[in-house]
Structure formats: structure tokens, C-alpha cells
Amino acid sequence: MSIFLMILAGIVIVATALPALPCTRWWAQASGFPRPQLVGLGLLVLAALPITLEWGLAAAVVTGLLVLAIAIQLWRILPYTRLWRVQAQANDEAADAPKLSIMIANVQMENRDAAKVRHLIAVQAPDVVLLVEPNEWWSSQLASLETTYPHHVLRPQDNTYGMLLFSKLPLHETEVRELLNEGVPSIRTDLELTDGRRVRLYAVHPPPPMLGHAEDSVPRDAELILVAREVADSTMPTIVAGDLNDVAWSQTTRLFQRLSGLLDPRVGRGMFNSFHAGHVWMRWPLDHIFFSPAFHLRSLQRLPAIGSDHFPLAASIVFVPEDAGEHNPPAPADEEDERDAASRVTAAHRCDDDVTP
């Protein structure tokens, strides 16, 4: 039993150390996803160690490292609990201000429960719907939405990177772009609010660092950094939404926030874990809705399952740019962040050059 506990303690310690290393391989990046689960496992092992171990130098070192690992994990996930200060302030009193509701969902390409998706959209009735992973089958099954949502961008694909964007609000200057990876589109468009003002929406779904997609996190990281830079260089109030294939507490997502200045409504409110819908014991936040300080939050919710491995996520926000200073935004990017961002984008371009015939 003591050997088994030592192995479990080693797993927690190693999984805590890997994300801090300058390693972009998928297995190193994936170890940063299950932080809540590692905290739970670490606490169980810590409680059992005094009962089973014969104390000596080795036991003391392992216990000390385990305590440190648990503390590091807690420090990373605590901002996504109610114990932390809210980052995006709420405002449900601006009655005359333009409001915007958005729903995002990874439908899972192989999923065939389109009726659940249609029903959920009908019940929620959001202003904007973003669906990722749709192929032609999904596009045909959801064609009826084009009546309720007269403004749309349809890019179904058979490689799990398709996108369908439906909007009740007019869209302007819409672009479907492949920022870094061929066959991996993203959408940039301007939404016209009910008072005529425009805000920008980025819909993103970068490749995950996992076997069968990308062997490392370089393509995902670089795409998010490029979007963050565009946001920072623009004066347009902005929303970034989609399946980022990255958890809220990762180094990359936090770098994305510092570079872009966007707010995460999860901070101070909860994790709102969107993946995996089929495993209660193994869930984390992969789907995201970030927005500029010009917006305040009205509501944020994880929606019921739709047969996919992701839960949909929905947010309602209100456009009150005059109150932008009320938030607790992320710290701005410093020189080290800029160097980190530049090196990741350079690495992505180098990888792209390596595979160019």
C-alpha cells in the first residue's frame, strides 16, 4: 500500500511540474488540464500517507513535495471559484443599454442528436449561436435556423474544424480566415447592436495538443496569440468565443488575456466545466467566452447536454462602455509576455515552413 501511495504522490508531483517546463509536447500540456482532479487525488494521498508510511528522509521529501504540488494546483484553480474576486462585473440594471446573448457549442462531428441542439437553441433563443465541429450533415440538419437567424456564416468541414455562425444581428466585414493552419478556420466579423453601434466577434477553434491533431501546443498557442494581438491593436469592443482546446487556468490562456486585455467571466464565479460531458469525474473548462471591459455580464451558464462530449456555454452581456473602469481586468502584458508570445508565433511559422512542400 505504501508503494502504491508513493506512486500516486509521484503522479501528482510530476503532473504539477510538467506544465511549468518549457515543453510544448501534448503530454506535457495535457497534464495541466486536470488540476481539480489532481488536487483531490493529492489530498487523498496526503491523508493516507501518515497511516501507511514508515517515516524517514524519503517519506518526508515526498510529503513535502506533495504539499507543495497541492498548493500550486490550488493557486491555479482558486481564481475560478467563488473564493476569488470577480473579474468581469455584473450589470443587470442598464435597461436602455444594448444587450447581447451568445451561445457556443462543440456539437461533436460524429454526434447525431441534432434535435437536441435545435431544441436548446429554440429554448435559449440567443442573439448569436456559434457551433464548432459541424460537417455537411450538421449544416443540413440546422438549415432551419437560417429563418430565425438571417445573418450567418457557414463553413462545414469533415475534419472536426467546421464552424456555423448564426446571428439575429447584422454582420459586417465578415472574414473566414485560416490564420496558421490549413483547414482550421476562424471567423472575424462585426456585429451591429440594436442601437447601431458595432462590436467585433472572433470565433475560434484552434487544434488541440493531442495525438491525431497536433503533437504539441504550438499551433493552438500561436493562433490565440495572433487573435490577442489583433484585439489589443484595435479600439473595437471585442468578444472572443469558441472551443479554445485549452483550460481557463493554463499559461497560454492567461497569456492570451494579458495580451488582449479581455475579461473572463468565469473568474470569481466558477469553473463552468464544458468538457467532458460524459465523465463526471474528469471535467474542465475548454469552451470560452471572453469580452472587452466595454461589456458587463448579465448571466453565464453551462447548458444541458446535447449528445456531444462538450456542454454548450451561454452568456448574456450588456454594452456599457462608459462603465468599463468598474472591472478587475487581468494585468497587462509585460516585456517577458511579449517575448514569450513572439517566440510561440515564430515557432508556429517555423513548423509551418517545415511541412511546406
CA distance 315 to 298: 7
Give how many domains the chain has, as a whole number: 2
How high is the pLDDT of residue 92? Answer: 83
Residue type, 21: L
Residue pair 16/38 in contact (Cβ under 8 Å)? The answer is yes
Residue 172 and residue 319 in one domain: yes
Mode of pairing for the β-strands spanning 99-106 and 313-319: antiparallel
Q: Which residues make Cβ contacts (< 8 Å) with residue 111, sequence separation at least 6?
A: 306, 307, 308
Residue 124 and residue 42 in one domain: no
Q: What is the CATH number of the domain that holds 231?
A: 3.60.10.10
Instruction: For residue 342, tell me if it sits in a domain.
Output: no
How high is the pLDDT of residue 26? Answer: 79
pTM to 2 decimals? Answer: 0.94
Residue 63 and residue 108 in one domain: no
Residue 43 and residue 139 in one domain: no
Question: Which of 80, 114, 130 is a domain's end point?
Answer: 80
Residue 76 and residue 130 in one domain: no
Residue 205 and residue 243 in one domain: yes
CA distance 154 to 145: 12
Question: Which of 48, 80, 112 is a domain's end point?
Answer: 80
How high is the pLDDT of residue 353? Answer: 53
List the pLDDT tens digit at each of the 357 positions of the chain: 578 888 999 999 999 999 888 878 878 888 999 999 999 999 999 998 877 767 677 778 889 999 999 999 999 999 999 999 999 999 988 878 999 999 999 999 999 999 999 999 999 999 999 999 999 999 999 999 999 999 999 999 999 999 999 999 999 999 999 998 899 999 999 999 999 999 999 999 999 887 666 678 899 999 999 999 999 999 999 999 999 999 999 999 999 999 999 999 999 999 999 999 999 999 999 999 999 999 999 999 999 999 999 999 999 999 999 999 999 999 999 999 999 999 999 988 776 555 433
Instruction: For residue 69, tell me if it sits in a domain.
Output: yes
Residue 183 and residue 289 in one domain: yes
Instruction: For residue 239, tell me if it sits in a domain.
Output: yes
Instruction: For residue 346, tell me if it sits in a domain.
Output: no
CA distance 90 to 24: 36
Containing structural domain, residue 169: 99-335
Residue 126 and residue 59 in one domain: no
